[in-house]
Amino acid sequence: MTNTESPVLYSVEDRIATITLNRPDYRNAQNLAMLYALDDAFKAAVIDDEVKVVVLTGAGTVFSAGHDIGSPGRDVHVQYDSRAALWPEYTRAVGAEERFAREIEIYLEMCRRWRAMSKPTIAMVNGPAIAGGLMLAWSCDLITASSTAYFADPVVDMGVPGVELFAHPWEFGTRLAKEMLLTGLPVSAERAYQVGMLALVAEPDELTERTMALARRIATKERFALALAKTAVNRAEDAMGYHVGIDSVFALHQLAHSHNAEISGHGNRGVGVEQVRAALRDHEETET
């Protein structure tokens, strides 16, 4: 994880572990190698007694463009040992079972695994967090963002109701969740701050300094007390329907994939992928 060619970089300084998504040429799109390397990095931080806080960020100008749906390194059919969901190897499955087993392992349950880790985590969103990029940020306890960052889940254009970790109503509130999903339009960092999703918004050249100051403040606390505090909030959130709600929408997500496969031969509507890319390009050009 210290090799600059690795899909994830890992370093520790001042009791803070920094994990960096490292596929900038592909806007930090999440292939299997990245997701399992990310899991390794979170585990390394958990077992290191010197680490008190974990900061997750992205290399380059994009936090994460979401799940890899087309780069040369997508490696869909590579099988890693299951860690999060105890389902049969999806490479030996067919039909809906293959997609279900794959997505529950590498998307849904991986994010739940990271959310449940004992040490506080901060997502430092240095640029756009799109679709699956939201899931990585939402798996962390706190989120900071650059003033140039935005948050988007435009996958309705791809024929699915939203990403696998459907935390939108808890993160944005129900009205804004519906607005962003039904329109496909991004939510700015400032608006995300206003609805309480972000701990702070900073200018790009100040983001790291201010995020690390926040991490250092947390790192002064006693480790077990920090673990109990975050677990207490997570359990309260689950009691408010978070876990069950996400499970129910995950089933709708899989229904959408199966429907798309029935009518078009592909789990995502191919024309929708291009529409999503074009819409986001238009947004970025407008903002600049």
- Residue 124 is predicted with a pLDDT of 98
Euclidean distance between CA atoms 157 and 161, whole angstroms: 9
Between the alpha carbon of residue 209 and those of residues 1, 145, 214, 215, 267, the distances in Å are 23, 12, 9, 10, 42
Across the strands, what pairs with 21? 8, 58
In terms of DSSP H, where are the helices of the chain?
32-47, 95-103, 110-115, 132-138, 168-172, 174-183, 189-194, 207-219, 223-239, 242-264, 270-287
Between the alpha carbon of residue 237 and those of residues 1, 174, 197, 223, the distances in Å are 33, 15, 14, 21
Q: Quick one: average pLDDT of 202-221?
A: 98
Q: Is the per-residue pLDDT at 82 higher than 70? A: yes
95 confidence band (pLDDT: 50, 70, 90): confident
Q: Quick one: average pLDDT of 112-140?
A: 97
The mean of the pLDDT values for the chain is 91
Across the strands, what pairs with 11? 18
Digit-coded pLDDT (tens) for 171-202: 999 999 999 999 999 999 999 999 999 999 99
58's tokens: 């992205």
198: number of Cβ within 10 Å: 23
Digit-coded pLDDT (tens) for 24-61: 999 999 999 999 999 999 999 999 999 999 999 999 99
Q: Which residues of 123-148 are buried (b: 16+ CB within 10 A; e: fewer)?
A: bbbbbbbbbbbbbbbbbbbbbbbbeb
Comparing 139-143, 209-213, 277-281, the range with the smallest average pLDDT is: 277-281
Q: Quick one: average pLDDT of 212-216?
A: 98
Q: Quick one: average pLDDT of 231-242?
A: 97
Q: What is the pTM of this model?
A: 0.92
Listed residue (138, 140, 114, 123) closest to 211, CA to CA: 123
Of the two residues 275 and 17, the one the predictor is more confident about is 17
Q: Is the per-residue pLDDT at 77 higher than 80? A: no
Location of structure tokens 């849904």: 108
Between the alpha carbon of residue 263 and those of residues 16, 96, 197, 260, the distances in Å are 49, 14, 37, 5
Q: Is the per-residue pLDDT at 278 higher than 70? A: no
3 state SS for 239-286:
HCCHHHHHHHHHHHHHHHHHHHHHHHCCCCCHHHHHHHHHHHHHHHHH
13: number of Cβ within 10 Å: 9
